[in-house]
Every structure is written in structure tokens, then in C-alpha cells.
Structure 1
Amino acid sequence: MMTNYLFSNHDTVALAEKYGTPLYVISEDIIRENLTKIINAFTKQNATYDINYAGKAFLNLAMCNIIKDMGVSLDVVSGGELYTAYMASFPMERVCLHGSNKTVEEIKMAIEYNIGKVIVDSKYELELLNAICEEHNHVMRVSIRVSPGVEAHTHEFIQTGKIDSKFGIPLKQVRDLFDFSKDLKNINIIGLHCHIGSQIIDEEPFLVTAEVMLNLMKELKEDGFSLTELNLGGGFGIPQMRHDASFNVDQYIEKLMSTVRRICSEIQLEVPKIVVEPGRYTVGTAGITLYKIGTVKEIPEIRKYVSVDGGMTDNPRPALYGAVYDAIVANKTLVSEEQEIVTISGRCCESDTLIKDIQLPKVEPGDILAVLNTGAYNYAMSSNYNKIPRPAVVLLRGDEDEIIVRRETYEDIVAKDMLPSWQK
């Protein structure tokens, strides 16, 4: 008997038939499970902590509501993300504004909405923020983003904590920046921030980073700055293939808090509040993308190409980073199915390879392909390249499924176009 692939207890073939393809499918239950693991890990350690969900991974009104209900904070990196949180009535005191080049308009929005905190990325931004806050008679809580010089073993493009990076203040310049900040009356520096990269499976770089940052906090305390918060960013890796190991959050938090407490005891520093920013870890495994298979083209003794009705417009990460994904033929899940090695190609007028050389049951046009772990940075990074409309997003909860972002239409594609007067 043929059985279809179930994701979060939902028949994926039925979802594809109901909503069409390509289709982003997000499980609220899995999002909540992932966040609960982090909450429980910190609670077990009796830690003072906060979780800032990294909204850039996946953000819309429904996602804001889930995060809000979980009691988790939210970090945003643009005016658009901040506005989304505002429209979702997200508690502004739990919002943190990131970004390496915040605009004047975004800073003014942050002040107008009275958000909880700004992560400052440069001396220029610190001056700018102070000046705008002064104009609005506002004092903003601030953390300073530091480049700690720790290089995680991840893709070069998603390493953000190394010295040669557009992000943060180089470690050797931080004390000078704090000295400069003494005359800035409209900012209140409460802590330090860092983020060493994404898709990190090894916990050791995080522990090394914590030691570097705590020693910096000690130096700053000696300079007269008592900081109460250390934000170690996100970057917790998720499985790329079905059988890959998951990042052990419980073990990491246990080792992290043990390391933090030991170092603080050694250097006589009060243990700060620890903040983490899980984006991919929160939503990555909570999402899949469903495609319909179209053209199947075999080049004898070279490769068999299987084309789907989506591609780099709904998932640009393989093209950008060489990101690796696993997939299942949703309507052919029996182990006894005849297997073959194929390459999954997208429909864009580019090389547009989603998955190279994957073993799947023998596929035919009309089959449904489920690409796994696409919850993070797929919808968020989608585009209209080749004038292709973006897919819909469906949210699952229990046995319910509903659209939370509608499928774009061709009318949407041209809705913002305007003709110059001489063409009318």
C-alpha cells in the first residue's frame, strides 16, 4: 500500500493538492518544541537569560504571534521587520534592533515605537543614535556588538565573528569606543553582543567566545563600565541531511553556564544575563518546501536532471552558499521503491541546482518532492527573479492547516510598476 510522507502529522501530498506548489509548509508545533528545548535548558541551569528570536530567519504576522505567545524576545534587522512586529502588536520592550548600517528612518522608528534595545555596530552609529535620541528627548538602551576574532568552522560567507568582517567593533577598539561613549548622554550601554557565524555544530567556538567576551567585560568594568548583559548571538546548527546529528542545546547550555560561572568566579565578575539569538534553530527544522516534479531529462552516463516548479527564487541558498538539502518523494515513501541518483534542478533561467546527486525513488512528472529543513532563510530570502511569483506559506498546528502568506499572482508582479509620462 502506498503511503505519503507525513510532516508534523500532515499528509504532504494532500497539502500540495489543497494549496498548490511550490508551497512553504511551517509547523507551529515544531517551532514551539525547538524554543521549549532552549527555555528548559536555561531553566535547568537556574540561569538569568533571554532568548531573542532572530526574525531574519522567517518573519510574518503569524510568526510574531507565536514568538509573542512563547514569551520570547525578537531581534529585527530592518524597518520592515520592525514594522511587521509593530503590526503584530508584538511587545516593543521585547524588540531589539540589529543591523550594520541602520538608517536614520529606522532609528527614528525604534525611538517612536519605544523598543527595548539597539545593538550598536560602529562608532558612527553610536554617535548617530545619540544625536537622534537627543532630538527626541529619549534615552536608548544599547549593547555594543564586538568582533571577538573567533572563527567558527562554517561557510566563509556566514562567518561573522572574525576580525575581517563588516559586523561589529574589532576587539582591540572596544575600550576606546566605551571611553568615547562617556560624553553621550542619550544612550545607556547595558551589555556586549557578538555573533560568530551560522550553522555551527561544534559547541567549542561558543565557549571560547564566551571566555573572550567575559574577559572584555572585566576590562571594561575596570574602566568604570558595569555591564549586566552578554549576548552570544545565535548560529546553532541544524541537520542538513535526515540522519545528521542535531546541535545538542541542553548540553551546550549546561557547558556554557558552567564556563560562564567558572570564569566569572576566577576574574571576580558578576555573572551577567546571558542572551542567545536562535533563528535557524527555531524555525529551520519546522519547515519544508513542496514542489511538483516536471521535466525529467537523462544524459546517458553523465547525469539525470529532475526539474521542479520552484528553485532559486524560493530557495537561493544552494546558489549563494552551496547549502545542502535533503529531500523525499512525498508520494513514494516505501523502502522497496526502485532507487536512482538524480540532480534536482529549479526552473529559473540559470544553472539553478537545488540538490546535486541525491538518491531517490524513481521519479516521474507529477510526483511531489518535499525538500526538508527549509523553514529558515528560504521564504525570507525569496525573490521574483524571472518574474516568478513567490509561493504561499501554510502554517500547521495540531490537525489544522491554514495559509499565513498568500501565493503571489502575476498581478502582484506588476502592481508596483509605473510608466514614465512619455510612454503614456
Structure 2
Amino acid sequence: MVSTSPVATSPLPWAAGGVDLSSPNRNLAPLSTDIDAEGRLRVGECVLSELAQRFGTPLYVIDERSLRQACSAYREALERHYPGPSLAVYASKANSSLAITAVVASEGLGLDAVSAGELLTALEGGMPPERIVLHGNNKSSEELALAVQNGVTVVVDNWHDITLLQELAQGRTEPVALMLRFTPGIECHTHEYIRTGHLDSKFGFDPDQLEQVLTHLAGCRWARVQGLHAHIGSQIFEVEPHRDLAAVLADALVLARRLGHDPSDLNVGGGLGIRYVASDDPPSIDGWVQVVAEAMVAACRERNLELPRLLCEPGRSLVAPAGVTLYTVGSRKQIPDLNTYVAVDGGMSDNPRPITYQSEYTACLADRPGAEATETVTLVGKHCESGDVLLKQLPLPATEPGDVLVVLATGAYNASMASNYNRIPKPAAVLVADGCAELVQRRERPDELLRYDVLPERLRSVG
């Protein structure tokens, strides 16, 4: 248990400007964030600086309330806006762990895995196999076999998938449930690395191949085309591309049924963006779902189609706002009239998004979140890399070594993309709720980084 001091009534410093702290995908901080009577930042009624002292830093902190409310927001919005059956499927690449899987499964969502590791995590975390889909543009025979053996729906991405599945399905009496992915040819404004819907993409069949693929699968007794899938990208603030996507998927459904298939599912993927900085203005979960649902209903009615089951695959918008990362401030380098570098005990190994995507974040001091900024610094990591910069032009009060710094909205793609660059161990992660902090991923130890090294005997005596 950590401190549960009385909550002060002062507003959060980043609430200025109309940030809606009641909305799990519009706020900058987790839903249960507040400031205690001593002016310290809390999440889930846990004082963050106390978590840093107890568990060490860097430390990933996940607010269970935020995660559950985001799951509920998707589930309830689909029920409210879509008159047919529906299922929100968590894109677990955003943050895959047994604990997060268990929370998402208990909220009635499905899960999207893209590897044997993510699939095993889903199964061990309690996600029912019938609510799991396996993605991937280069699945191995082992990954496909694991999915088939457990009754998981396979998202077919290319002819290679079909060839491998045909070999695996020999002797089976039950057909393999498939979802056919294709590129819809829809552009959207996002980072080029995370645009997946345009034609020049490694993911999915070209739309001109659809008829050929569907015709081939119609003759395969081992295959059952359960659905069609298309995805347009990630961290998207626009809604118009999703209207276009509904029409593209509905046309593909017409084609599939004409060729003898009876798909029950249309999967629009995910991609809803979140607020990382105050200037970001994404749609709400409810608003995004409403656009998608109404577009799908209209597209199906125009084509006299019975409403399919509508699937979507949120990832970032479920877990990113629920997470913060804690660091301990260390060294400082001040270059007069040029720059001030403040270093923390993590960096690009626990958050590679800034160096990869030039991503921006919001940050503050854990025990002085409302203190007036007296300087503008460049927040850097400890790695031997000049590009190891977490935040540029960060306004902060004067810092001292040992201060705990909080970076907001780090629940997605931080833990899942973490590395051991410079042989730095990966951080621990805790789940917080109602004043209780539970370890859900333990911190790696430096000696554990050697566990897969093999030293040839002939080298043991060298030196």
C-alpha cells in the first residue's frame, strides 16, 4: 500500500485551456490523476514519488480505472451507435502483458495479436480464443499452427499465409476461420511509418487481387472466410477516411458473397489518435465510433446488405492515456545562451518513440506539478546516442538530482517497443487502483541480460 493522503482542491496544472479530465482519450493525464494535500501528484490514489522510491525508476505506471473506462467507452459506443452485432478488439501490440490482457478480457473486448508471444500472452491472460485474431505480414508456420490449434481467427495477409495454412489444415475436420486483409487505398495525415491503408504498403492484398483470392478460397474446403479487414493507419485525428473505408469494405463484402462466401465480420481496424500535448485535438471515442458505425450502416443499406458484425481494433486510445512513466533526474549540462540538458535515468530504450517518430509528450515534476516553470530544458536520456532526447523545449521549475519526473500518456508503444540498448535493463510496470500498486512486470536485472549469451569454450581462456 502507498500513501492515500487527502486530495487537495487545486486544479491540475495542465487542466488550463479546457482539457477535459473526465474523458479517457482527451485528457493529458490518467483519469484518476489528482494532487494530494502536500501538492504531490497521484494516480489511482498512489503518490507517484512514493512509487518511484518503492519500485525504482524508470517505472511504467498504468491506471486501471482509465483502462477500464476506455474499454467501456468503446463497448458502450458500439452498442449505442451500431444496430448490429459488434466487438472492439484490443490491438495488443500497443502494450502486451498478462495483466492488461486480463483487464481487457474482463471488460468483454477481444484481442489482436501479431506474434506467438502476443498470442501466448493473450491465451495465458484469459482472453477467450474465439475473441482473438492473429495479424502479421510474415507469419511463421509455428505462429499459424498455434493460432489454428487454439481456434483463433487468422487474418490472411498474403498468398504465403494461404500456402502455409493449407499445409497446416491437412487432416482437419473443422475449417480454419479466416479474415482477409486488403489495402483500401485511403490516405490519411499521419507519420509515414504508421500509414498502412495506402496502396504502397507491406500489409494486405492489393484490392485488385481480391477477386482472385476469394475465388481461390471458395475452392478450399479447409478455409472459412469469416470476415474482411482493412486498416488506414495510426494516431489519426480525421474522421472522413473512416467514412470512405466503410464503403470500400461494403463493396468487398458484396464481392465475397457473389463468389460464394458468407463473411459475418467487417473489421475497420483502429487508429484513433490521443492527446500527447495540449494542442492535440483528437475525436472522442464516442465520436469516432459514431462516425464509423453510421458510415457502415449507410454503406450496407445502400447495397441492400444485412448488417455484418462490426469489429474495430483500438490500441493506443485504450492504453496510452492510462500510462505514465517515472524517471529520476540526474546530471545537468548548461551551455550559456544555447541549451540546458537535464538527464534522466532512462530514455530511448524505454521510450523509442521520440527518436523514431519525433513524438512529443507532456511532462512535469511528481512532487511539484503546479510549480512555476523557471527554465526551458532539453530532457535527455542516459544512452550513448546524441539523438536520445525525450522532450525538447520543456518548461520546468529548477530541478535537482533525485527529483522524480513524470511523462504522461506513455501507456502505448513504450513498454512494447522497449529495448536493451546499451544493455540497459527494461523497466518494471505497476498497475494502480484505489491506493494499491501491484507489480505486473518486474524490472530486469543486469545479470539477466547475459542469459542468452553463449561463450564458446575456446574463448574462455582468452586474456
- Give the alignment's TM-score, normalised by structure 2: 0.88
Whole-Å separation in 1 of the counterparts to 2:206 and 2:62: 38
Structure 1, residues 303-357: CA drift from partner, whole Å, max 9, x if none?
111100000000011111111111111122224x242211110110002011111
SS in 2 for 1:253: helix
Alignment map for 1:13-412 (pairs within 5 Å): 13-45=49-81, 46-115=83-152, 117-242=153-278, 244-335=280-371, 337-351=372-386, 352-412=388-448
SS in 1 for 2:430: strand
Worse-superposed segment, 169-178 or 357-366 = 357-366
Worse-superposed segment, 124-133 or 169-178 = 124-133
Given the superposition, is the C-alpha separation of residues 2 and 333 from structure 1 closer, same or farther in structure 2, using an over 3 Å criterion?
farther
1:7 Cα deviation (Å)? 2.4
1:87 Cα deviation (Å)? 2.4
Are 1:25 and 1:396, in contact at CA under 8 Å, matched by a contact in 2?
yes
Given the superposition, is the C-alpha separation of residues 89 and 251 from structure 1 closer, same or farther in structure 2, using an over 3 Å criterion?
closer
Whole-Å separation in 1 of the counterparts to 2:177 and 2:310: 16
**2:114 partner amino acid:** V
Are 2:158 and 2:204, in contact at CA under 8 Å, matched by a contact in 1?
yes
**1:226 partner amino acid:** D
**1:260 partner amino acid:** M
Identity %: 38
Q: How many residues align?
A: 422
1:259 Cα deviation (Å)? 1.8
**2:434 partner amino acid:** G
Are 2:45 and 2:433, in contact at CA under 8 Å, matched by a contact in 1?
no
SS in 1 for 2:350: coil
Worse-superposed segment, 354-363 or 371-380 = 354-363
User: Can you give the 5+ residue segments of structure 1 that lack an aligned partner in the other structure?
Assistant: none
SS in 2 for 1:86: helix
Structure 1, residues 271-330: CA drift from partner, whole Å, max 9, x if none?
111100111111000100000011111111111111000000000111111111111111
**1:205 partner amino acid:** P
Structure 1, residues 189-214: CA drift from partner, whole Å, max 9, x if none?
01110111110111111111111111
Are 1:111 and 1:138, in contact at CA under 8 Å, matched by a contact in 2?
no
**2:238 partner amino acid:** D
Are 1:47 and 1:257, in contact at CA under 8 Å, matched by a contact in 2?
no
Whole-Å separation in 1 of the counterparts to 2:259 and 2:128: 34
Whole-Å separation in 1 of the counterparts to 2:363 and 2:78: 33
Whole-Å separation in 1 of the counterparts to 2:348 and 2:373: 28
SS in 2 for 1:6: strand
1:135 Cα deviation (Å)? 4.4
Whole-Å separation in 1 of the counterparts to 2:239 and 2:223: 33
SS in 1 for 2:235: coil
1:231 Cα deviation (Å)? 0.3
SS in 2 for 1:381: coil
Given the superposition, is the C-alpha separation of residues 338 and 51 from structure 1 closer, same or farther in structure 2, using an over 3 Å criterion?
closer
Worse-superposed segment, 135-144 or 373-382 = 135-144
SS in 2 for 1:134: coil
Worse-superposed segment, 358-367 or 146-155 = 358-367
How large is the Cα RMSD of the aligned pairs? Answer: 1.5
Whole-Å separation in 2 of the counterparts to 1:226 and 1:112: 23
Whole-Å separation in 2 of the counterparts to 1:278 and 1:36: 12
SS in 2 for 1:169: coil
SS in 2 for 1:264: helix
Given the superposition, is the C-alpha separation of residues 104 and 373 from structure 1 closer, same or farther in structure 2, using an over 3 Å criterion?
same
Given the superposition, is the C-alpha separation of residues 263 and 113 from structure 1 closer, same or farther in structure 2, using an over 3 Å criterion?
closer
The counterpart of 2:456, out of the listed 389, 412, 420, is 420
